[in-house]
Amino acid sequence: MCINMECFGYRRNVPRTIAFSIVGVLTLGFLFLVFRWKPNWEIKLMYERCSLAEADVLLVRDVHQRWHTAPVRNEPIELPSEKRRRREDYCINGSPSVKVTVENSDVGEKVEFVPNDMTSDRNKNFKVIEQGLEENVPCADFYRTFTGFSEKEQQQRRQIYGRNEIFVELKTIPVLIFQEALNPFYVFQIYSVCLWIFGYNYIIFSVAIVVMSLISIMATVYNTRKQATTLRKMVRSEGKVRVLRAKDNVDDDSVFELIRETDLVPGDVIQLPLRGSQMSCDAVLISGNCIVNESMLTGESVPITKTPLPNPPIPLDSPPMMFNPENHKRHTLFCGTQVIQSRRIGKKSVLAVVIRTAMFGFVYVITIKILHKATVKDIILKALDVFTIAVSPALPAALTIGMVFAQQRLRKRNIYCISPQRINVSGMLDLICFDKYPYIWSIYRWNGHLSFFDGHRRRNSWGPAGSTNVPVNQMESEGATESERTGFSHFMPTIVMDTSNGNNNDSPRKGMMPVLPAHQIGVIRQFTFSSNLKRMSVITQTLGSNTFDVFVKGAPEIVASLCLEESIPDNFNDALKEHTMNGLRVLAMAWKPLAQNVTYEQAQGLERNDIECDLQLLGLLIMQNTLKPETPPVIEELNNANIRTVMVTGDNILTAIHVARQCGMIGPSELVVEVNVTPPSRDNKTKVTYTLNDVVNACSRQPSPSHEFSSKNQEEVALTLEDFHGNSDGSTYHFALDGKTFLALQEYTPHLIPKIAVKATIFARMSPDQKAQLVEVFQDMEYYVGMCGDGANDCGALKRAHAGISLSEAEASVASPFTSRTQNVECVSRLIKEGRAALVASFGVFKYMALYSMIQFTSVIIMNTIDSFPSDFMFMYWDIAITTIVALLVARNHAYPSIVAKKPLTSLMDPALLFSVLTNTVLQFGVQIAGYFLLTMQPWFTPLVKDRDDISNSYCYEATSIFFLSSFQYIIVAFLFSKGPPFRKPIYTNVLFFVSLVLLTIYTVSMMFFPIQAVNNYGELMELETYYYFVILGLAVVHFALALLLEVCYLADQCSPWFRSVTLYNCAGVLERACGKPL
């Protein structure tokens, strides 16, 4: 397997190493910190390029453009038997293979690979040392080659693949604290604190900042340690497993050896206990059946049955069937899943072959100070301090607090998130893909009859028959033979009993013979449902019969294609269309008897293709769908919000259309156009056909003739699509297509896919891979795509979507970022609302932090102009009392109860957001400048007389006036940027935040009009004339009014074009809307 990585070889350059080490010491270790943050810089500066064979360290750049460094550890390896036939893939210029390991401890990644050219200093292509047998291994090898290893062979394989364990390093708390403290933000905080303590003697403010930083560090360390401990407990394995060590007789216990799970290697044959176990590796089942719970991986809580890997006979001139993890996942037991029960076939043990183990894998300030003839120390301190203003101490909390509150609210709604960053993304969604079952519909209910075909006539008969599946272990009794226990002469993994005439559900007591009903069917072998084949089948034997039967169920059109033509009635297609157009779930059933000379052992070895042919069509199993009451309101809400809803299902296309109409995806008067593709032939080109579906609710129309066009003529394509746009009655249309058509479009006319997808609402008979490909198509069209489905069939689509929601009983799964335990589509609406609320809160915090920096920067610049500086108390009030409270409480607004058509901002470079930040920056600067000049015009004002022994010179009229005015500005922007409707509830519903702003405003006003001498002395605040306090309040009110005009009037209308071309006419328009009348 090739991977796309770039690898560069470097060897240590001693003179460079010495030189940069000296520089690191002279910079008091700062250079070493930079090297920690940018390891590729260290390699490039202290090492020199060389060939990979001579390298001491490798610099690797992965597909995500991330840099990794790895000391070279060359290990000669002896290839295992299954790889020796491909030795050229692992040899380098004929020399023995070497293994290179690249580790990234920060993200827990480890990649082992073999470069294909060790003589070059750069390499782009590598052969990854496959972590098992997941590729290029014939299925037959699992039965012939892997029959047990000796201890020596196992040791050789362990050298290649490593131990079967995931090592999670549990670092000590002091180490975690030290590493977290080296984060660039906290390094900056250390620099700021040192400057404030030693430069300005701001002891209390510095202590407060240190305490806040320590709390933040300890919270991060606690979460990191807790997650590492939890993960270590999850992946730590101390169990033992029975491994095959010989191949003489697999039924003899002497051939099995009990070893630790960590000693397993790919190729080991393990024996699975009958009463279930936890899988510690990936393994392919080669004998017996297993019932497995894969909810941890897929989010699907319904157990599934695993069957042995197929091993059909292959002609000599044909290539062998190769094992494929995706195609053969129904035969694979995955690491971490729970095997609920294992079932033997006869007396043969339940065996599996291990395929993969767990180890895989400043100019203005300086100029002013020089003009004022300040000392060099004063210039340096004031210049350095300007940098500390740009970053608030509350920045880490502010950047994440919105997602934290949203995640808590989602959890209360039984929606769990394993990727909090996706919460903000979910607020951008503008297209949602739904799997029809079971999230739009209730569980299918048998509507009370079967449709059986008798010759060419259809008749309805029989009500629901009572039956139950009884696992064999419920019928075991000590000392009883197979015939005595079950009535069958051979082992039956599952027995179906008819309970219509009595209650046989009670399990027999131990030692008691069960009362066997007269009519029983034993299931000998099961071929599980495949989304690609769209069917499943079983081989059965009826109690008292010596022959075997095959039963098949699946998609009607697929099953019919496997049946004898004479068994299919003339009205088959009409009956199928009638039921599907009414929204009924329809499955076809077929049957055939096996030859009388087929034995039990031969039946076990039959392949799927051998039995799923020449069938007799029995009839249609019809199940009624009941629309969930929560579905229509949610779909209507999404439609009203201009969020596209798309159905992606494996069902029949007519059933899907009916469902879409009932739930509101397609309006009653809207057209549905089915798309079909005829592949090219020798005489004809690819033909795309559009057919108007003739089932329209609440509207009577005659079917329109089909429209055809050649894929070669793109102008005709546009014309044909345009035919469906302008209907005489103003209705719109929706495209509907199935998986076969989607595949043909991808292969023959890929340029049409975006044109069709933009109006397509129904995608039926879609396989799991096609669902994931469809999500990518929408993403390429610049949609933010959400996917709602189950974690099994929709796993790929859930992961590909911007926000995937897996509906499962499990609290979390790796199938998707979000898991909802509420089994209906209400979770989609709730997630979008919370996502929008979190997104708006994040942008609001960003804007506040930007204005916080600019307000404080303006204040400091004005004070520096007169050789003054804010006091310790002023910084405490601005940064701790105001900004920290805002950062912690601003995101507590709950989401707005409805989804509106207006979309929230999605980019920091959006013109509206930039306009808001820019205009508010200019506004606050103008207000502070106006306040300063108004102060200097007062008759009682006396300029600052600088005290050279006091570096801050905070006790002056200018500093006091600017302190009060900027305090009001912080409160104003916090109020304005905490937006409410239409994405969040009003600000007053966030009680703590609203009350905090009110109290801060009251306290700031009280400090002006009701000064406390002790506070004034500590804060170095001068008492101003009372009337001037009203001037400061007036300036604050003017600031609030102008900022409110900008935020409410301008941004509410989203007049971003006006930002791009400001004109007098547009300015007048804004004022007209603000005043409510023409100017």
DSSP string, 310-353: P-----TTSPPPBP-TTTTGGGEEPTT-EEEEEE-BTTB--EEE
Residue 567 to residue 563: CA distance in whole angstroms: 7
Average pLDDT (385-389) is 58
Least confident span in 247-251, 724-728, 937-941, 1036-1040: 724-728
More confident residue, 971 or 80: 971
Q: Which two tokens stand for residue 72?
A: 């070279």
Question: Residue 505 pLDDT > 60, yes or no?
Answer: no
Residue 268 pairs in a beta bridge with: none
Average pLDDT (328-343) is 84
Question: Residue 20 pLDDT > 50, yes or no?
Answer: yes
* DSSP assigned state of 506: S
pLDDT value at residue 814: 62
Least confident span in 228-242, 651-665, 686-700: 686-700
Residue 135 to residue 746: CA distance in whole angstroms: 26
Question: Residue 362 pLDDT > 90, yes or no?
Answer: no
Average pLDDT (841-869) is 88
Average pLDDT (891-905) is 90
pLDDT value at residue 440: 56
DSSP notation for 63-105:
TT--EEEEE---EE----HHHHTTGGGS-BTTBPPEEEEEEET
Query: Taking all residues of the chain, what is their mean pLDDT, rounded to a whole number?
Result: 76
Q: Quick check: helix, strand or coil at residue 710?
A: strand
Question: Residue 500 pLDDT > 70, yes or no?
Answer: no
More confident residue, 120 or 650: 650
pLDDT confidence bin for 430, thresholds 50/70/90: very high
pLDDT value at residue 44: 85
Cα 511 to chain center, whole Å?
Answer: 51
* DSSP assigned state of 544: T
pLDDT value at residue 128: 42
Question: Residue 985 pLDDT > 50, yes or no?
Answer: yes
Note the pLDDT tens digit of each residue in 728-757: 344 588 999 999 999 999 999 999 999 999
| Residue whose pair of structure tokens reads 């029983």 in the numeric block | 520
Residue 176 to residue 224: CA distance in whole angstroms: 8
pLDDT value at residue 1071: 41
Q: Quick check: helix, strand or coil at residue 825?
A: coil
Question: Residue 451 pLDDT > 70, yes or no?
Answer: no
CB atoms within 10 A of CB 337: 22
pLDDT value at residue 815: 65
Taking the CA atoms of the chain, what radius of gyration do you get in angstroms?
36
Average pLDDT (493-521) is 56
pLDDT value at residue 813: 60
Q: Compute the Cα dihedral for 497, 499, 502, 506 and give only its sign.
A: positive
Residue of 814, 984, 916, 1073 whose CA lies nearest to 409? 984
Question: Residue 402 pLDDT > 80, yes or no?
Answer: no
pLDDT value at residue 549: 93
**For the chain, percent helix, then strand, then coil, each to nearest 5?**
45, 20, 35
Average pLDDT (884-905) is 88
Question: Residue 142 pLDDT > 80, yes or no?
Answer: yes
Of residues 435, 738, 794, 872, which has the active-site annotation? 435
Within 13 Å of residue 604, how many CA atoms lie on the same side as its CB? 16
Q: What percent of the chain has pLDDT over 70?
A: 72
pTM of whole model > 0.85? no
Task: Give 868's contacts (C-beta < 8 A, 6+ positions apart).
Answer: 944, 952, 953, 954, 956, 958, 959
Question: Residue 480 pLDDT > 50, yes or no?
Answer: no
Average pLDDT (941-953) is 81
Q: Compute the Cα dihedral for 269, 270, 274, 279 and give only its sign.
A: negative
pLDDT value at residue 126: 43
Under a CB-based contact definition with an 8 Å cutoff, are residues 424 and 835 in contact? yes
Question: Residue 512 pLDDT > 50, yes or no?
Answer: no
Average pLDDT (1044-1049) is 79
Average pLDDT (880-891) is 85
pLDDT confidence bin for 10, thresholds 50/70/90: confident
Least confident span in 97-106, 287-296, 583-592, 597-606: 97-106
Helix locations, 937-1012, DSSP H = 957-976, 991-1009
Q: What percent of the chain has pLDDT over 90?
A: 23
Note the pLDDT tens digit of each residue in 625-640: 677 888 899 999 999 9
Note the pLDDT tens digit of each residue in 48-57: 888 776 778 8
Note the pLDDT tens digit of each residue in 236-280: 667 888 888 765 444 444 578 888 888 888 888 999 988 878 888
Question: Residue 707 pLDDT > 60, yes or no?
Answer: no
Question: Residue 916 pLDDT > 80, yes or no?
Answer: yes
pLDDT value at residue 91: 37
pLDDT confidence bin for 231, thresholds 50/70/90: low
- 570 annotated active-site: no
pLDDT value at residue 778: 95
Least confident span in 220-229, 850-859, 898-907: 220-229
More confident residue, 699 or 598: 598
Residue 328 to residue 376: CA distance in whole angstroms: 74
Average pLDDT (12-36) is 85
Residue 367 phi, psi (nearest 5): -65, -45
Least confident span in 498-507, 552-561, 736-745, 932-941: 498-507
Average pLDDT (910-932) is 90
pLDDT confidence bin for 702, thresholds 50/70/90: very low
Residue 373 to residue 228: CA distance in whole angstroms: 56
Q: Which two tokens stand for residue 1079?
A: 């100017």
